[in-house]
Chains A and B, each alone.
Chain A
Amino acid sequence: MPTQLQNTKEKKELTAIWQLLNEVCDPEVPVLTILDLGIVRDVRSLPQGKQGNEEGFEIIITPTYSGCPAMDAISIDIRFMLLEKGYKNFKITTVLSPAWTTDWMTEEGKEKLKTYGIAPPSHSEKKGEIAVHCPQCNSVNTKLLSQFGSTACKALYQCQDCKEPFDHFKCH
């Protein structure tokens, strides 16, 4: 096959895989896909296998927090999703560097979080945190109850106006 044609085929294939990955959701925050979260860092073709006809690919993922138990589940979910769609030659590689940051979360993902009742991260901790808006009434009159919440990625807040306690996805 001429290289150019092959490249086009490869490109199509990779696009199809990215689309499939966008159907894999975070098990703890099921409104977010793993693409919304910025967990998938790359999808790349692997050189042909020994038979010369097995084109494979590699999915590079990165954990949110070092101890996030969802990572194992996410890796399994990706595997099942791809196997179900008939893909066989792929591998999932976890990388730690560069370290994940909430800056990689999509704007769409942040909107979905808010609708779900979790205050989204504003921007990364390096730039400093601005006021956390209550996801219910949008008030900025909110109070930190605990830096640690129901999962590693969340802190517990309470709205001083509507009194509703809520989770805040920490800037990271």
Chain B
Amino acid sequence: MNQLIYYTLHLADNNLILTQRNAAWCGHGPILEQDIAITNITLDLIGQSRNLYQYAAKLINEKNIKLVETETPFSLENEVNEVNEDSLAYLRTEREFKNLLLAEQPNGDWAQTILKQFFYSVYQYLLYEKMQYSKDEQLAGIAAKAIKEVKYHVTWSSEWVIRLGDGTAESKAKMEKAIKELWRYTGEMFVPADYETAMIAAAVAPDVALLKGEWMKKVMEVFSEATISSPFGGDWNETVFMQTGGKNGIHTEQFGYMLTELQYLQRTYPGAAW
């Protein structure tokens, strides 16, 4: 049961953390339509993460499970008896977050933001496409609903990768710089954490290792249309060191800063509500 909770939190954290990054573009997009586009995508992602957090909270409360993995498991427990979607988002510590390192990377410029969204959306699409048939009915339902939304995210972010890659010399340079920055965080998606392995065995989670081929195919198709060749001077698969850790709570330096901002209000004014 704990493995299912960890897995659900991992899925929820991916979306929440990417949402927090994307939300920083609100009011700052390059043109109004694209500002609206990225915030709409963000809205979809936060909605999906709410569904996932609500499910995780239900599982935790029903089983009265104490997730004693770190020193401060679900810090709110002492103050109220039940966890909920908000306490899971606002009151877990850095090590308790299981999101992909990719999701937490800084926005950088528009190219880096777009590329991050593109890498994640292609992955999310392939993952949720399979998760629709999960043995866990709730996860299957969440995935079947989300996949219709994610399809738009893939289309939109692909178009932008192509536009920038096949655009001016400057836009191409920016896209190549973004690839150099972010590529190292893509390998983690396909290396299952222990809770994923358990859920894959239980036919709850799709096998992420098996998604890699399709993910590469789609990404290479788009890169090819964007006239982008490998900035690493060779094979995409072998030449770059892949950083992992996010799925198990070991994050990059930038994560602490963004989490502080995300949780500031609830940490400073506990229980504050609209």
Contact = CB atoms under 8 A, between A and B. Distances in A.
**Interface majority SS (helix, strand, loop, mixed), chain A:** loop
Contact of B148 (A67, A68, A99, A149): A99
B44 A149 contact: no
B152 interface: yes
Most buried by B among A67, A69, A146, A147: A67
Given A97-B141, A125-B148, A67 B47 contact: yes
Contacts of B41: 148
B47 A148 contact: no
B37 A152 contact: no
A148 B37 contact: yes
Given A66-B51, A100-B145, A147-B156, A152 B44 contact: yes
A172 interface: yes
A66 B36 contact: no
Interface of B: 33-34, 36-37, 40-41, 43-48, 50-51, 137-138, 140-142, 144-146, 148-149, 151-152, 155-156
Interface string A55-79: 0000000010111110000000000
Contacts of A99: 141, 144-145, 148
28 contacts: A63-B47, A65-B43, A66-B47, A66-B48, A66-B145, A66-B149, A67-B45, A67-B46, A67-B50, A68-B47, A69-B43, A96-B51, A96-B142, A96-B144, A97-B145, A146-B34, A146-B37, A147-B37, A147-B155, A148-B33, A148-B37, A148-B156, A149-B36, A149-B40, A152-B43, A152-B44, A152-B149, A156-B33
Interface of A: 63, 65-69, 95-100, 125, 145-150, 152, 156, 172
Contacts of B155: 147
A150 B36 CA distance: 8
Nearest to A155: B152
Contacts of B37: 146-148
Nearest to A150: B36
Contacts, number: 69
A33 to B, nearest CB: 22
Nearest to B46: A67
Contacts of B140: 97
Given A63-B47, A96-B144, A148-B36, 6 more contacts: A66-B48, A67-B46, A99-B144, A100-B145, A150-B36, A152-B149
B144 to A, nearest CB: 5
A25 B135 CA distance: 36
Given A148-B36, A148-B156, A65 B47 contact: yes
